[in-house]
């Protein structure tokens, strides 16, 4: 690993992906010297030892300079975001994350950082290309002409451009991955910010526990998505950060399923069959989205390896444990 022995800061380390990334980097020889998140430490999903765990709002410029001080590489994952329910109802909050990336880029440039990784999103893609459930997998060039997801997607697309120009104008090595629906243990599973895999796991566990064998599904269940397990995500993130790829590249699974099929998978894991109620007026996002992995295969010889049903089984088991612990309190 090129990052082996390098001093690294992870922004958004108290979040789902950030917490896993810190542990992955540590296990593979990077020296993670600083983990930063806005949440109080007791609200971080994972806290790693041997690290300066810094609670700070990275929308504030001074905090970004503190975060970037003395490190070789920055992973900028910090953002105000959540599942589709949160994104559609908090567009301004999502847009404010542009301050974090702007100030972190400035701090990295001025602090002599060698590598800067930015976590973008498949929400940058042109909405006109995602109107059908029978979606053609999205290629990197499909982000233009721009028609991103309102709020969150536009912030990510603008931040991608900033990374590009900071490399062109200032020589800061910037790498950008467009995440496609990451899921797994140690993530949000309730409270309104959870994404579909975790929400469906929670709902199935609740239905099984209460004996009320029904589940509410947002939309008609025919919308299609691909979902990437967290272990694949952190592995791919590091590979892209270390690569020579100077454009935003897809990081996601190409295993396409409908939301109904995702419910089928979780029902099979739980050993139940539920009556489905469809909430057609709920936020459901685009009708179809999938990752075209042609470029990451060509550039890195890599794509996710963990099948959806295997990753969902691990995710279900972890969420079930959390709910059992909560029920005992």
The sign of the CA dihedral 226, 227, 231, 235 is positive
How far is residue 45's CA from residue 187's CA, in Å, rounded to a whole number?
7
Catalogue all structural domains in the chain, each as residue range(s) with its CATH number.
7-182+228-251 (3.40.50.720), 184-225+256-328 (3.90.25.10)
Residue 25 in this model has a pLDDT that exceeds 60: yes
pLDDT at residue number 1: 73
Residue 326 in this model has a pLDDT that exceeds 80: no
According to DSSP H, which parts of the chain are helical?
16-27, 61-68, 84-89, 91-95, 97-110, 152-170, 196-210, 230-241, 259-270, 294-300, 308-328
Nearest alpha-carbon partner for 125 in 196, 193, 77, 178: 178
Q: What percent of the chain has pLDDT over 90?
A: 90
Confidence band for 81, pLDDT divided at 50, 70 and 90? confident
Out of 45, 152, 179, 229, the active site residue is 152
Nearest alpha-carbon partner for 152 in 190, 189, 118, 125: 125
Asked whether the beta carbons of 290 and 138 are under 8 A apart, the reply is yes
Determine whether 152 is an active site residue: yes
Provide the token pair at 196. 């579909």
pLDDT at residue number 41: 97
Q: By three-state DSSP, how is residue 81 classified?
A: coil
Asked whether the beta carbons of 224 and 159 are under 8 A apart, the reply is no
Which of residues 13 and 326 earns the better pLDDT score?
13
- Look at the block and give the residue holding tokens 């419910």: 263
Confidence band for 84, pLDDT divided at 50, 70 and 90? confident
Average pLDDT over residues 109-114: 98
pLDDT at residue number 172: 98
Q: What percent of the chain has pLDDT over 70?
A: 99
Give, as one character, the DSSP assignment of residue 125. Answer: S
Asked whether the beta carbons of 8 and 72 are under 8 A apart, the reply is yes
Cα angle 233-316-205, degrees, rounded to a multiple of 5:
145
Q: What pTM was estimated for this model as a whole?
A: 0.94
- How far is the CA of 285 from the CAs of 172, 216, 288, 323, in angstroms? 34, 16, 9, 27
Asked whether the beta carbons of 35 and 28 are under 8 A apart, the reply is no
The sign of the CA dihedral 45, 11, 193, 250 is negative
Asked whether the beta carbons of 17 and 23 are under 8 A apart, the reply is no
Residue 297 in this model has a pLDDT that exceeds 80: yes
């Amino acid at each position: 690993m090129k990052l082996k022995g390098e001093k690294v800061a992870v922004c958004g380390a108290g979040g789902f992906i950030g917490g896993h990334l810190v542990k992955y980097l540590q296990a593979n020889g990077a020296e993670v010297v600083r983990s930063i998140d806005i949440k109080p430490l007791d609200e971080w999903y994972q806290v790693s030892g041997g690290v300066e765990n810094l609670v700070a709002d990275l929308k504030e410029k001074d905090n970004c300079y503190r975060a970037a001080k003395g490190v070789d590489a920055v992973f900028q994952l910090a953002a105000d975001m959540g599942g589709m329910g949160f994104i559609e109802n908090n567009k301004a909050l999502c847009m404010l994350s542009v301050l974090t990336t702007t100030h972190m880029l400035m701090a990295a440039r001025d602090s002599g950082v060698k590598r800067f990784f930015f976590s973008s999103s498949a929400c940058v893609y042109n909405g006109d290309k995602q109107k059908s459930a029978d979606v053609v997998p999205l290629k990197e060039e499909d982000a233009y002409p721009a028609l991103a997801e309102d709020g969150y997607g536009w912030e990510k697309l603008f931040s991608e451009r900033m990374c590009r120009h900071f490399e062109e104008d200032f020589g800061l090595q910037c790498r950008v991955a467009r995440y496609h629906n990451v899921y797994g243990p140690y993530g949000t599973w309730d409270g309104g910010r959870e994404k579909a895999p975790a929400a469906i796991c929670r709902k199935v566990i609740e239905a099984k526990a209460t004996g009320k064998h029904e589940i509410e599904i947002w939309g008609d269940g025919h919308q299609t998505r691909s979902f990437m397990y967290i272990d694949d995500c952190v592995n791919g993130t590091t590979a892209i950060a270390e690569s020579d790829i100077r454009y935003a590249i897809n990081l996601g699974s190409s295993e396409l399923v409908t939301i109904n099929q995702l419910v089928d998978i979780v029902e099979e894991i739980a050993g139940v069959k539920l009556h489905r109620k469809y909430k057609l007026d709920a936020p459901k996002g685009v009708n179809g989205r999938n990752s075209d992995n042609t470029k990451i295969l060509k550039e890195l010889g890599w794509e996710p390896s963990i099948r959806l049903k295997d990753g969902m089984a691990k995710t279900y088991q972890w969420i079930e444990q959390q709910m059992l612990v909560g029920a005992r309190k």
